[in-house]
Structure 1
């Protein structure tokens, strides 16, 4: 009998490592966390997250570092709809990074974890397998060297070898991109990009003027009298009292005028309130219901969990040679060869462009160098 290859089942791995995550040895706990992150990378496995979550407050710094990195590997390219703990992890990363009193090892792990979640502009994922299910040697080597960052931190850059793009690009027989539409049978918010970070604006506190008590003003006056330096100028407290008396006198004269004007305003308000009641009977505009599907255009971003929900619209001009749920680069066959084909316009790449031939700058004037 031929040996049948077993299916890869990362869902069973958390039950294997569960006891090791509770070990008394911190090195074993850190290794269990990293093993969970590598085995369940990009899956958003809830059992794996349930094992890692209590370890976020571990007493050992390098254990927390491993937990932070492992949680990011598991939650990469997941939203709150597919993995509810993503928001909590993001907030925890920012809390550790901004905390001045936290250990530098935990901060390094939080910075790496935050970068892993947003890797490749949130357009790549970590995967140890190819699209056909075979082991990806490049990814295995990249993760192997990445786990040695504790020895030399530049080894962390090898993680980029394990990234694979999550996209769908269809090409015709000339290897050009035609205008093709796809249907994603899920609400747009389920697989959308996470919202951008918003900087919190700090409110400036206004300075409050110090109050001058009446006792202090009297005491200053007594001190001046004792010294024989009597002044005819009133003190600050006296001027305040005089101002209050004048304001009270002016307000009493204006009360009668205000009462008359208030009566006129009340009559007008009653008439306008009746009109508002009639307008309030009209129902307010409610939030529009989110559609159950979304139309994507070639080329597009398609995350791993979204691949099985893809389909071509009915009556589509193009037919895929391979199943569209495989995503990646797929060849299509044109069923209407008699009609002209529209291709996707390529956008100009950003960055510096080739400069025109300019005259070379003149050489510097001759000088003498003196070593003093």
Structure 2
């Protein structure tokens, strides 16, 4: 399908590079199986040559998943590729992901070679990988800061060498959406053989625009998005899988689809967070604990009248049990009355007025009023006996 967007999950490779988030093989296999249930198209299982543990993890994931492509990362070096080929020998659908830097910053200060040599190395790596595995993805590291004309030459050369996917990473999170989208558009219009490969996005979040850049890339011709659960990853993180998937689902005018079962999003978010000991920030889009919580009186009143007033996603869509009305000093009568009704108590308008005044006094002292405090409040300030 032309408008199908492949979801390439790199939680187990780029995501696991976060300090303190190292996983053992058993944990990686468990997450990989959950990624398969989620419906991701490609799992980047690791960087096999980087350590014996990573090699073992890629091998075991290859044995334990069936539907997704299993991908191993390499540098544009033959020994890396040999190692990845060996690690992927049990994969039903293996992919080698190889490449090197293309920006002047990387070429001249990190690799310390010429632009021509970058193309030579990239072509050689792709050709070598193709001897063993048909599906070869090439990454042009720091493409976000690479001159478009030169980038187009690199991409044309590696596609001619056999690359099936070309990855255009915004490695440093430098780009803004218009800039990144125009880069993808430039490649679509100026690489003669671009139709022979899939363009992939791989955006980092250093300026907070990874999701926006990825979507801009898709709008301009990319059909694979590289992302992680909860947006974890190097420095400020990678593109968040849940944000991209739900943005595509909610904006039907974009006319794109994915294979993701959205009801599995929250469960795998919790799994990754707990397994990697990486807490999710409370206000994180889609999966943060406050994503479906309402505490402002105006919002609570509007939500109780019609949830669409303040929620564009139903919590059940992403596997969250329900929305929550959180009682604070900002809450109004409607929210308080709703919570009291949930406790099985019906109040007259006069009784609600009495309780609301006392509620505000207590709420100014406490951050949040829970059911326990609410029951005490009702029993203390209403003359009738309440049976809880």
Question: Under a length normalisation based on structure 1, what TM-score does the superposition of the two structures give?
Answer: 0.22
TM-score by length of 2: 0.21
